[in-house]
A = this chain, B = another copy of it.
Amino acid sequence: MRACLWRRCNFRSHNFTRPFSISPATHERVDVARLLSQLTEADGVDVYGWVRSLRRQKKVAFVAIGDGSTLESVQAVLKPEDAAQLSTGAAVRLTGSWQASKGSKQSHELQVTQVAILGANDAEHNPLQPKYQTPEYLRTIPHLRPRIPANALLLRLRSQVIASLTHFFNQQGFVQTHTPIITSSDCEGAGEVFTICSNAAKEPEQCEKPGGQAQVEHFFRTPKYLTVSAQLHLEALAQAVEKVWTLSPTFRAERSDTPRHLSEFYMLEAELCFTNDLSDVMAVVENMLVAVASDLLSSHTGAELLKAREASQAEHESTTDSLTAADLKARWTGLASGAWPRITYAHAITLLQTAAADSSATFAFEPSYETGLQAEHERWLAAHVGEGKGPVFVTDYPAVQKPFYMSPSSASESNGGKEYNTAACFDLLVPELCELAGGSLREHRGDELRKAMEAKGVEGSGLEWYQDLRKYGSVPHGGFGLGFDRLICYLSGVGNVRDVVAFPRWVGRCEC
Contacts and interface: CB of A to CB of B under 8 A. Distances in A.
Interface of A: 14-15, 17-18, 20-23, 29, 31, 48, 50-51, 67-69, 89-91, 93, 118-122, 125-128, 141-144, 146-147, 151-152, 155-156, 158-159, 162-163, 166, 170-173, 175-184, 186, 192-200, 204-207, 209-210, 212, 219-222, 224, 226, 233, 236-237, 239-242, 244, 248-249, 251, 253-255, 263-264, 266, 272-277, 280, 283, 444, 465-466, 468-476, 501-503, 505, 507-512
Contacts of A93: 274
By CB atoms of chain B within 10 A, which of A212, A236, A508 has the most?
A236
Complex copy number for this chain: 2
B199 A196 contact: no
Contact of A512 (B17, B183, B251, B280): B183
B196 A177 contact: no
A17 B503 CA distance: 37
Nearest to A206: B206
26 contacts: A18-B280, A18-B283, A21-B280, A22-B476, A29-B274, A69-B173, A89-B473, A91-B474, A93-B274, A119-B474, A119-B475, A144-B469, A147-B473, A159-B176, A163-B176, A178-B501, A181-B249, A181-B251, A182-B194, A194-B199, A198-B253, A199-B207, A204-B212, A206-B206, A220-B507, A465-B511
A196 to B, nearest CB: 5
Q: Pick the 4 closest A-B CB pairs, nearest first.
A: A146-B240, A68-B241, A119-B474, A192-B200
Contacts of A507: 219-220
Contact of A264 (B17, B163, B182, B184): B182
Given A206-B206, A512-B233, A152 B200 contact: no
A126 B141 CA distance: 54
Given A166-B166, A192-B200, A158 B177 contact: yes
A196 B196 contact: yes
Nearest to A120: B473
A93 B197 CA distance: 46
A91 B473 CA distance: 5
A140 to B, nearest CB: 10
Contacts of A141: 465
A163 B162 CA distance: 11
Given A173-B15, A220-B510, A512-B233, A241 B69 contact: yes
B274 A20 contact: yes
A184 B31 contact: no
Contact of A468 (B15, B144, B266): B144
A94 to B, nearest CB: 12
Contact of A220 (B207, B221, B471, B508): B508
Given A199-B210, A274-B22, A146 B241 contact: yes
A196 B194 contact: yes
Given A22-B277, A122-B471, A143-B236, 5 more contacts: A162-B176, A186-B199, A205-B207, A220-B509, A224-B510
A183 to B, nearest CB: 7
A151 B240 contact: yes
A510 B155 contact: no
Given A48-B274, A233-B503, A240-B147, A475 B220 contact: no
Contact of A126 (B146, B158, B276, B471): B471
Contacts of A249: 178, 181, 248-249
B177 A50 contact: no
Contacts of A173: 14-15, 17, 31, 69
Given A176-B158, A473-B50, A194 B194 contact: no
Contact of A207 (B21, B178, B206): B206
A162 B166 contact: yes
B512 A444 contact: no
Contacts of A166: 162-163, 166
B69 A242 contact: yes
B263 A20 contact: no
A17 B172 contact: yes
A220 B89 contact: no
